[in-house]
Amino acid sequence: MAPPLSRRLLLRAAALASAAPALPLTAAGRARAAAPEAPPAWTVRPFRLEDVTLGRGVFADKRRLMLDHARGYDVDRLLQVFRANAGLPTLGAVAPGGWEGLDGEANGNLRGHYTGHFLTMLAQAYRGTGEQVFAEKIRTMVGALTEVREALRHDPAVLSVAGRFSTAVENVRGSHRYVDLPAAVLGGAAAITLAAWVRPAHDGAWARVLDFGDGTTRYLYLAARGANGAPRFAVTASGAGGEQGLEGTAALPLDRWSHLAVTIGGGTGTLYVDGTAVARNEAMTLTPAALGTLTHHWLGRSGYSADPVFAGAFGGFDVWSRVLTAAEVAHLRERRPADTPAGRGDLASYAFDETSGGTFADASGRGLTATLRRTWGGPSHPGFLAAYPETQFIDLESRTSSDYTKVWAPYYTAHKILRGLLDAHLALGDDRALDLASGMCDWMHSRLSRLPAATLQRMWGIFSSGEFGGIVEAIVDLHDLTGRAEHLALARLFDLDRLIDACAADTDVLDGLHANQHIPIFTGLVRLYDATGEERCLTAAKNFWGMVVPHRMYGIGGTSTGEFWRARGVIAGTIGATTAETCCAYNLLKLSRTLFFHEQDPAYMDYYERALYNQVLGSKQDRPDAERPLVTYFIGLTPGHVRDYTPKQGTTCCEGTGLESATKYQDSVYFAQADGSALYVNLYSPSTLTWAEKGVTVTQTTDYPREQGSTLAFGGVRARFALRLRVPAWATAGFRVTVNGRAVPGTPKPGTYFTVSRTWRAGDTVRVSLPFRLRVEKALDDPSLQTLFLGPVNLVARDPATRLLEFGLYRNAGLSGDLLPTLAPVPGRPLHHTLDGIELAPFLEGTEDPTHVYFRRTEPAVVLGGTDSGVANPVKEDGTTLLDEIWAGAPFGGKGALVARVRATVDAWAAAGLLGRAEAEQVVRTARAASYAP
């Protein structure tokens, strides 16, 4: 195990901690925003986002749409749930909804996650563009979150608002606050009147105006809305079945003051709304005296834990030890109790006109001071920061099964917030963000370090509830900044040993696992390896990657069906409407990138290009929207699927990662050898690299993938290093490189890096040619189910049919083996073609056209060079056809070589009894007579 902190790390952390928060991203500002040094274990390192500028092209176009969204979006909407949870004013903001609010799926139990993603997006946008609008939004959010944490550190304080007559106290929805009254408030009275001014802010059923009781057996309550939506009062000494009740007749209006009163005495109960009796029960025999001593006396909270907390304002609460007359109740609607014939309540009287503190004075003369409290007490550590109570984290520790309406991945949400704060700090050097991030990890350590190992293993193994995203990666990144041993210790507390041990042993146990819950675990493991040197971590991550790519990967680079993995090698058997969750592609890209830092296996970057140029680009719709990011959740691969760019109201996990993806397209275009001896060009993307350490700039000009090549121009000082150009695995049509117009000798091999070593000078130009071929990729479990690629680009059929389309592709195949001559190009529309009258278009285009990613390959007749031989195309038991075997010999040096291949193949098939001799000769005659494209 490597030591947790070196002197170098300590000095680096101290330097970062001293960075000023308000520098613009000038040259000085960019220096202050520098990320920590690459870990010693990395043999290559990435460049900062600010070191690579995107040029015009598909990436810049997609990014512009997201940047426009980021510029205009009101971040107070994201902060609303955080401020509400802390009992702070929400500034009239409306939460986004969906998963980022109280009314979305599972009661908004994931709220706060999207705010973290948004912070990361803003940080990336700022680093990539230098625009101050993004910096200002970051500062606003970090400042607000600092205030939120401070409020959560202390007992709740009054939120004073305008009341019916003077001031009132508001408990905003989501604050989980209530008023706790002393036990003597009812005074054992045999007759009683209860009266309150309320202004409800939400229509949740069973939210209590008051609840005085002893558990769920003996109690009395007044709910703002009962089962029929109107106010309800009930009293019981024998649970819900024994309730004696008063039912209102109409719902209380939201955001308006209403006066409620209940009288009980002489066997009669009456419910008043705004001074008018709306319900009367002459068989109400129970009184406070009959209930005896009760354990709680609450305003705004229910004795039933499933009931919502009252959201809204209290403008006054009084209790009298007698039954007020109807006239007296009517007067209470017009004036303060002290100014009416009833006078103040003799048992309790609260005006709620306090403007600070957390207690409320009693004006009855009995001195029954009330206290403002949170239903969940308070955070277990002052570093706690969340948009919901700590109860989800507490519940998870004893939970044995998933129920996301109760606990929905609290540590996943914590990860998003933590990551966003770290990115905010790295972008601006804002110490407040680093302090918030460090405090969150201190709080997590205070909770998790006290739990037995078996409890942690159980927690992390629970689907959904135990999901923790990329938290280990973020914690190790924080440890790089702080050097604190507790932070590295915290990262180790998230080990899911049964999965990690299996993957370390190269045992595939992924069948049935939730994909996105587990992919980021392995990126975290790689970072843990960086910090500890523990080989098990890196080995498990490498083996895991190989279990997914290609064995559970769809052509576009995505994985999972209905969020889960199925058996290894099953592709056709898992295609459905909810395949390829976009978060999975995002996390597999991160894992591929991180693994490449340790081992420069070109397969990692081949995957990176596949998923980035297809699923990730295609997951972003090509139109502006101020309200939503327009990013897919699932990408269904069923025939005729139409992509949904606004799933679940627009704030899902995938829209969160989509915010990030669209603002970091340049993060893996270039890498540098750790010792500065080489520059890797991983992606052919229009961009300019500023390599400060070398004093060199590299400007890549291309319209790739619409252009089949790229030009790299060098500027700056002379520098010697190796230029390593990725040769994609699909580049079988002849990858060529020239330097200053002269061909570079050597034969680039697909699936490698081609190296050009020299001293580079300003004005040097490198031209890379990457001719595309049309090729198919077959589903691992059904070779006849195929998907089309032109170079790196997946081509999809745009057709409304909901059955699998059937295509044949050999009819005009070229001598090179290229299937493209079978397609007809669409003039003026690069990468667009037609086949049998159906449009084929790049998956990366974010449209709402019905698409077919996969099709059924059918070659019923032997057709060569556009000539039909009249011979049926025979098939072997394994699904291989005669044409498959003929074209497996491509490329052919000329027509003669193709004819020779045809002769050898038909002879073998005829000898095996798979093809008649006459039919074999007819196929050969057709091959000789036909003409072929190159």
- Backbone dihedral angles phi then psi of residue 347, each to the nearest 5 degrees: -90, -35
pTM: 0.94
d(Cα 525, Cα 631) in Å, to the nearest integer?
28
What residue type is assigned to position 406 of the chain? K
What string of H, E and C letters represents the secondary structure of 346-376? CCEEECCCCCCCCEECCCCCCCCCEEEEECC
Mention every residue, 6+ apart, whose C-beta is less than 8 A from residue 747: none
Residues near 186 by beta carbon (within 8 Å), at least 6 away in sequence: 192, 212, 288, 294, 297, 319, 347
Pairing assessment for the beta strands 719-727 and 678-681 based on DSSP bridges: parallel
So what's the pLDDT on residue 35?
59
**CB under 8 A, 24+ apart: contacts of 733-739:** 733/771, 733/772, 733/773, 733/816, 733/818, 734/769, 734/771, 735/768, 735/769, 735/770, 735/771, 736/768, 736/769, 737/766, 737/767, 737/768, 737/769, 738/766, 738/767, 739/764, 739/765, 739/766
State how far the Cα of 352 lies from the Cα of 922, in Å rounded to an integer.
Answer: 98
DSSP annotation of 598 reads: T
Beta bridge partners of 646: none
Q: Which residue has the tokens 């960075």?
A: 19
User: How many CB atoms within 10 Å of residue 358?
Assistant: 17
Buried b / exposed e across 450-471, counting CB within 10 Å, b at 16+?
Answer: eeeeeebebbbbbbbbbbbbbb
**Paired tokens of 264:** 């009980």
172's tokens = 């905003």
Q: Which residues contact 670 (CB under 8 A, 6 or more apart)?
A: 47, 52, 679, 680, 681, 682, 687, 689, 698
- The Cα–Cα gap between 243 and 346 comes to 27
Do residues 481 and 436 make contact, with C-beta atoms less than 8 angstroms apart? Answer: no
SS3 184: helix
Query: Which residue in 96, 102, 99 sits closest to 654, CA to CA?
Result: 99
CA gap 875, 565 in Å, rounded: 32
Non-local (6+) Cβ contacts of 368 within 8 A are 181, 182, 184, 185, 348, 362
pLDDT at 837: 96
Task: Say which residue the tokens 């229509």 belong to.
Answer: 203
C-alpha span between 713 and 763 (Å, rounded): 6
Type of residue found at 110: L
The CATH number assigned to the domain with range 177-374 reads: 2.60.120.200
Distance, C-alpha 893 to centroid of its chain: 50
Residue the block writes with tokens 């061909």:
743
Question: Where does CATH 2.60.120.200 sit in the chain?
Answer: 177-374
Identify which of 223, 455, 195 has the alpha carbon closest to the alpha carbon of residue 315: 195
Cβ atoms 327, 128 nearer than 8 A: no
Which residues have a Cβ under 8 Å from the Cβ of 356 and sit 6 or more positions away?
157, 158, 160
- Name beta bridge partners: 107: none
Among the CATH numbers 1.50.10, 1.10.3470, 1.10.1060, 1.10.357, which is that of 7-148+381-661?
Answer: 1.50.10
Report mean pLDDT in 10-residue bins for the chain, 934 residues. 32 34 37 67 98 98 98 97 97 93 89 97 98 98 98 96 95 97 96 98 96 96 96 97 97 98 97 98 95 96 96 98 98 96 98 97 98 95 97 96 95 98 97 98 98 98 97 98 97 97 98 98 98 98 98 98 97 97 98 98 98 98 96 97 92 97 98 98 98 98 98 98 98 96 96 98 98 97 96 98 97 96 96 98 98 97 96 93 96 96 97 96 97 94
Residue 567, CA atoms < 13 Å, CB-side half-sphere: 5
Residue whose structure tokens are 């407040």: 432
Quote helix, strand, coil % in the chain, to nearest 5: 35, 20, 45
Find where tokens 């979305």 sit: 104
- Rounded CA-CA distance 178/891 in Å is 77
State the pLDDT at residue 246: 98
Q: Is the CA virtual torsion 845, 851, 854, 856 positive or negative?
A: negative
Q: Which residues contact 569 (CB under 8 A, 6 or more apart)?
A: 551, 780, 781
Residue range(s) of every CATH 1.50.10 domain in the chain: 7-148+381-661
Token duo for residue 454: 């078996």
CB 617 within 8 A of CB 683: no
First-residue to last-residue Cα distance in the chain: 58
DSSP character for 201? Answer: -
Burial class (CB in 10 A: 0-12, 13-18, 19+), 507: exposed
Q: Which residues lie below 8 Å from residue 805, measured CB to CB, with a gap of 6+?
A: 639, 797, 799, 838, 852, 855, 856
CATH 2.60.40 maps onto the chain at 670-704+709-769
Contact 452, 501 (CB under 8 A): no
Q: At the top level of CATH, which class does the domain 670-704+709-769 belong to?
A: mainly beta
Place of tokens 């039912």: 247
Residue 346 phi/psi, 5-degree rounding, is: -80, -20
- Per-position DSSP letters for 727-796, written without gaps between them: E-TT--S--EEEETTEEPPS-PPTTEEEEEEEEE-TT-EEEEE----EEEEEETTEEEEEEEEETTEEEE
Q: Identify the DSSP state of 319.
A: E
* 8 Å CB contact between 170 and 159: yes
At which residue do the structure tokens 């609450």 appear? Answer: 298
Q: How far apart are CA 321 and CA 245, in angstroms?
A: 20
> Residue 15 phi/psi, 5° resolution?
-65, -40
Q: For position 650, what pLDDT does the model report? A: 85
The answer to whether the CB of 81 falls within 8 A of the CB of 636 is no
Closest CA to 716 of 696, 698, 743, 701: 696
Q: What is d(CA 734, CA 750) in angstroms, rounded to the nearest whole number?
A: 9
Which is it for strands 752-760 and 719-727: parallel, antiparallel or unpaired? Answer: antiparallel
- The residue assigned the tokens 């092209």 is 57
For the chain, the residue count is: 934
How far apart, in whole angstroms, are the C-alpha atoms of residue 96 and residue 486?
35
Task: Assess contact for 240 and 304: CB atoms under 8 A.
Answer: no
Q: Residue 891, preceding bond cis, omega within 30 degrees?
A: yes
